[in-house]
């Protein structure tokens, strides 16, 4: 696995999907659609770092401490 693929997995842009004994790397948007039907097929990699991704378009926007949903 290349460093670029690892970076995309950690960032959540790629997701591991397992079906009928085969494993594929898919873009997150496609994996989300698969997970809507069967979440057990999708393996998501959790970030192990709090580093901000350089490609994140929202990295400059901070969430206020008093923000509530």
- Rounded Cα–Cα distance for residues 4 and 10 (Å): 10
- 49 backbone dihedrals φ, ψ, rounded to 5°: -135, 155
Domain count, the chain: 1
What confidence tens digit (pLDDT) does each residue in 35-69 have?
999 989 998 776 666 666 677 777 777 777 777 76
- 24 backbone dihedrals φ, ψ, rounded to 5°: -130, 150
Tell me whether residue 10 is in a domain.
yes
Strand order, beta sheet including 42-43: 22-27, 14-19, 42-43
Model-level pTM?
A: 0.59
Tell me whether residue 64 is in a domain.
no
pLDDT at 51: 66
What confidence tens digit (pLDDT) does each residue in 13-22 have?
899 999 888 9
Tell me whether residue 54 is in a domain.
no
Tell me whether residue 58 is in a domain.
no
């Amino acid at each position: 696995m290349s460093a670029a693929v690892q970076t995309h997995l950690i960032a959540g842009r790629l997701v591991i999907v397992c079906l009928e004994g085969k494993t594929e790397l898919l873009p997150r948007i496609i994996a989300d659609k698969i997970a809507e039907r069967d979440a057990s097929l999708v393996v998501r990699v959790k970030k192990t770092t709090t580093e901000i991704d350089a490609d994140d378009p929202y990295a400059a926007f901070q969430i206020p401490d008093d923000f509530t949903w």
